[in-house]
Amino acid sequence: METFQFGEEIQSLMSVVPPPEAGNSFTALLELPANQAVKLLHDETAPNTLSSSVFPVMETDNSLEMTSSIVPNSSPNNFNLVKEEPIDSESLRNSSPNPSDPIISKSTKRKEREKNVKSSMKKSKHVSNEDEGEELPYVHVRARRGQATDSHSLAERARREKINARMKLLQELVPGCNKISGTAMVLDEIINHVQSLQRQVEFLSMRLAAVHPNIDINLDNIFSAESGSLMECSFPAMVTPQPLSHQLWQPDGLTPQPLWGVEDMNTNFITPENSLLSYDSSGNSAENGIMKTWEF
Amino acid sequence: MYTSSKLKREFYKKWVKGLQICCSSKKKMDILERKKKIRLCADIALASAKNVTTSWSIALIYEAQKDDENKILVDNLIGPELRLKPQNTTRQMIACHKRVRSNKILKKSRHVGQRMRKKCPPKPNLATYIAKTLVKKRTRLLKTLVPGGESMDEYSLIKEALDYILSLRVQVDVMKSLVNATEVLNQSDSKIFE
């Protein structure tokens, strides 16, 4: 169904004559020549295929470029490996970047390395002094051969790359996004994911409303030690990771009101706050009552 | 997908607390009202469970506060010191973003003319245009989904979306386990009373 919609959208757009836009936006990503854009988004291609056409200038720096562009997709462990890559004539003079933000600092490190390479290149533009930190506000960007060198496009390119890095993070977060290439479809997936999560919350709250005659959802009774099976059900659901994609809400209708006086017993007691993983064993008589019923 | 249990615990605590507050006010509520209250409490609890306040959480709380009857609930859940903050910061954020956007528009209009004269305009590429429009549509849609997303540029929108997705997952997990727990409780009790 989604591909069908895509086809319709594309057809409707094809009929419009496009005006040239100054893309100072997210979509400026797409101003890049197509192969570059694809290669920026595609990180799983092997190092060999990322040929020097993508990074045309750095013949010497090629190996470094390849590895640094692939790294963002991998875990922080591999980050250390890349750091130890043999660097010929240069040393990383930056302080070690914040490991919690490897991707964004990686792109700035790449640019730093570009700067250090001695080669005859077009003049570069230093935006400002770099400030290492969580969010790097200033980025040293160097013009690559064959690309415009005025400050606007450089700033735009830096911005685009920041956005790309974040998009990669999102791709890893949302299940099933790693295989997709192209900003539009990834965004599609993200939107679907957010919508499905919101819908799930809606349905679950409806279900809870159906189950509880009053909304004082008091779960002290769950923590009685005797009910082993109950613990196994609720706690694993809480603590272990769950594949969300498999858990669609089955619309099984509203559950009938339960015939249990247990709930009424609980509402009479104004119990103190319990965290879900602590036991309230201080002689709560509701619990004792329930424990007795379970001994049968 | 991993969701942090600490956040879950925080969220759950606040949620139950909020529900108890709701319960103490009225006695009889039909199912839709109950659902709304549950959802509301869950949202507010989610927004306040994080230590680091993100703009979507601030926006959520701000939205909830607009309703008069929810104010008491929000106050008790969040605490009085945070109550004033959302109103100021949201307005500031919106004003700031509008200013930023209007500045950008001014700048663009100034430079576009110069650039048109300097170099020939880029050839209108149909594929690029289509791709750009598609992406624009989707960013607009994402902006409507993420609370407080309208007044954000794309860069921070992605960050907010990331955060929001994580928190939504926490919410869903906690609610699911609660539903499971009550269902098992129902079953075991109905067996006993038979």
What is the per-residue DSSP string for A161-222? Answer: HHHHHHHHHHHHHSTT-TT--SHHHHHHHHHHHHHHHHHHHHHHHHHHHHH-SSS----GGG
B22 touches chain A (CB under 8 A): yes
Q: Do A30 and B135 touch (CB under 8 A)?
A: yes
- Cβ contacts of residue B20 below 8 Å, gap of 6+? A216, A218
B174 interaction partners in chain A (CB closer than 8 Å): 238
Residue B163 has pLDDT above 60, yes or no: yes
Does the structural domain A151-212 have CATH classification 4.10.280? yes
**Is B55 within 8 Å of B146 (Cβ atoms)?**
no
Q: Which of B33, B116, B188, B190 to mutate to test the interface with A (most CBs of A within 10 A)?
A: B188
pLDDT at res. A197? 92
**Is A186 within 8 Å of A170 (Cβ atoms)?**
yes
pLDDT band at A195 (very low <50, low <70, confident <90, very high): very high
pLDDT at res. B35? 79
Flag whether the pTM goes above 0.95. Answer: no
B49 interaction partners in chain A (CB closer than 8 Å): none
- In terms of C-beta density within 10 A (0-12 exposed, 13-18 middle, 19 or more buried), how is residue A10 classed? middle
> Which B positions 36-95 lie with beta carbon below 8 A of chain A?
37-39, 42
User: DSSP code of B147?
Assistant: T
Give CA–CA dist A213/B26, Å, rounded: 13
Q: Do A275 and B13 touch (CB under 8 A)?
A: yes
B5, B8, B158 member nearest A170 (Cβ): B158
Who wins on pLDDT, A11 or A52? A11
| pLDDT tens-digit readout, A113-131 | 544 444 334 444 443 433 4
Domain boundaries, chain A: 151-212
State the average pLDDT for chain A: 55
Return the number of other C-beta atoms located less than 10 Å from residue A177's C-beta: 19
Q: To the nearest whole percent, how much of chain B has pLDDT over 90? A: 1
pLDDT at res. A63? 42
Dihedral Cα A80, A66, A160, B161, nearest 10 deg: -50
Residue B127 has pLDDT above 80, yes or no: yes
B132 touches chain A (CB under 8 A): yes
Residue B189 has pLDDT above 60, yes or no: yes
Would you say the C-alpha torsion A180, A185, A188, A192 has a positive or negative sign?
negative
| pLDDT tens-digit readout, A255-269 | 444 433 334 333 333
Who wins on pLDDT, A203 or A23? A203
Residue A196 has pLDDT above 90, yes or no: yes
Per DSSP, the three-state class of B94 is: helix
**Among candidates B52, B54, B149, which has minimal Cα distance to B97?**
B149
B13, B124, B179 member nearest A208 (Cβ): B179
Domain boundaries, chain B: 4-85+134-191
DSSP characters for chain A?
-HHHHHHHHHHHHHTSPPPP----SGGGGGGS-HHHHHHHH---S-TTTS-TTTS-S-STTHHHHHHHHHGGGS-HHHHHHHHTS--SS----SPPPPTTSHHHHHHHHHHHHHHHS----PPPB--S----SSS-----B-PPTTS--SHHHHHHHHHHHHHHHHHHHHHHHSTT-TT--SHHHHHHHHHHHHHHHHHHHHHHHHHHHHH-SSS----GGGG-TT-HHHHHHHHHHHHS---GGG-PPP---PPPPP--SHHHHHHT--PPP--TT----S--HHHHHHHHHHT-
Give this complex's ipTM: 0.76
pLDDT band at A5 (very low <50, low <70, confident <90, very high): low
